[in-house]
Chain A
Amino acid sequence: MGDVKYTISAYLANRYSSLFKSLNQKIDALYGHLNDDFLVTSNKVKKYAAVAREKLASDKLPTALREKLRTAARSFDSIIVELQYHDIIRQKLEHVYAVEQTLAAEFSRLYEQRGNGCYTPQYTFVMYDLVRLSYRQLVVVREDYLLASNKIQRLLRALWADRDISRELQLFLFNTAQNLRNVIQILDLLISMHEKLLDEQAAFTVIITEEQRMKILLEVKKLYTMDAEREIFNKTFGIEEELVTDDEIFF
């Protein structure tokens, strides 16, 4: 990429190196909130599933209640499967993190050398493309999270609404609203910071051919291991590709 012409001021290199670190620090905090969310829900659901199985082992249950508890146990199992969305979201965030970590490192080096070194960045040349891509990935992560979280809440609410089940299992509707708020708050902040960065587009000049640009972007694409991510990538950069595998569990 030595023949790409670019001008990046020390001011921008300094600012962007720290801004991408800031974005990643927020993703780190998001991991924590997602983990809390996962632990609260999975611990409660595992406990209810264990109580249901224990009751089912007894031969004194009336048939109608036995049937209800069997259905409830199946619902708990399906909620535990649904909870895998945390893992999928985490992986998606890790990919955004990796791209922004590289950008932070490249801008740091550009700032440190302040035009005197021979370091040539790579991702920096397509920074705004990458910010746009991360922005879109984050918007979809937000949708995924709300969809999955709401589905789990719906399943739990339906079980709770059956008074026999809720009495037998001592099932309370536990409040995950704070976790949800924490996750959404950070996601919204991340999304708005990416929007801000996109508004600054062309804050520095890079003269790069379309071929060079796509070469870097296709390198980045290798990071995205999930079809849903690759689909966003393709849509963002107008690439037509048939994605044949179905490697994700969805909602």
Chain B
Amino acid sequence: MAALNTQDIKAILDEIDRNLEQMMNILQTEEQALNKSFGNYLARIRQKSAVAEPDLVRKLEGARVVFQRGLDAIKSVPELAEPLRNLLQVNKMVRLAVQDYEGNTFVKISAYIGAIANICLGQLKYIRMRYEAILVGIREEIRALWMDRELSRALRLILSVNQMQFKKFTLAFQRAEVLYADISLIVIQSANAGFHQRIVLRMVSNRLPSAEEQNIIHTLFPGWEEKED
């Protein structure tokens, strides 16, 4: 890890990109699969409610609320692909700078590659936390419905959250996380170190525009925009 090897950095970035893309694909397919599954349950609830005993109708109404809430919750799953796409843009920026090895941009960016990796780590953890929170919430509510044997028989209910997909997502996240962590160990001695931080943070910040993304940058670099060079 001692010397900067541009080929190593490019290879690491390529691998991170592959993992980010896999995470994006999983978010996409998970949303579609859950949408279809919850839609089917809501259709079954409508059919059963027309002919069921009052006691079961009451339970079906409870289930309808759960699945409707589930449908609303998973609407935000594809939104999580957006910050992942933004991370790809940050990686692209670093990759271009690395290619421009002799250029000035490289000096600026490489001196802060640890800082950039740290921001990406923060973003990545936030995305995972959001995704996990959505899935765990849905899973708990459906499990509670599934525990009612009468209801689960009537709806032919199975636990819809795809554990394999979540596991794949987690593995891709973990791989990207440790690769960013490894990059963060690279320290470049630059005559201009400390001078270009704001420029580099501005370049990263431009690629991470949402309020949540900006908030993470401010948590990691409190007051960076106000500092004078």
Contact = CB atoms under 8 A, between A and B. Distances in A.
Interface residues of A, number: 17
B174 interface: yes
B219 A114 contact: yes
B33 interface: no
A14 B125 contact: yes
A21 interface: yes
Interface stretch (A50-58, A189-197, A204-212): A189-197
B121 A15 contact: yes
Interface string B79-122: 00000000000000000000000000000000000110110011
Contacts, number: 52
A10 B185 CA distance: 16
Given A14-B122, A15-B118, A189-B1, A21 B219 contact: no
A21 B178 contact: yes
A19 interface: yes
Contact of A21 (B174, B185, B220): B174
B2 interface: yes
Interface string B59-88: 000000000000000000000000000000
Given A19-B185, A21-B178, A22-B178, A11 B1 contact: no
B178 A14 contact: no
Contacts of B195: none
B184 interface: yes
Interface in B114-139: 114-115, 117-118, 121-122, 125
Interface in B169-225: 174, 177-182, 184-185, 187, 219-221
B215 to A, nearest CB: 11
A18 interface: yes
A197 B122 CA distance: 20
Interface string A1-35: 00000000111001100110110010000000000
A11 B181 contact: no
A126 to B, nearest CB: 21
Contacts of B125: 14, 111
Interface of A: 9-11, 14-15, 18-19, 21-22, 25, 111, 114, 189, 192-193, 196-197
Q: List 10 A-B pairs, minimum CB-CB distance, nearest first.
A: A18-B181, A22-B178, A22-B181, A19-B181, A11-B220, A10-B219, A25-B178, A196-B185, A18-B177, A15-B118
13 contacts: A11-B221, A14-B121, A14-B122, A15-B181, A18-B121, A21-B181, A25-B174, A114-B219, A189-B1, A193-B1, A193-B182, A196-B1, A196-B185
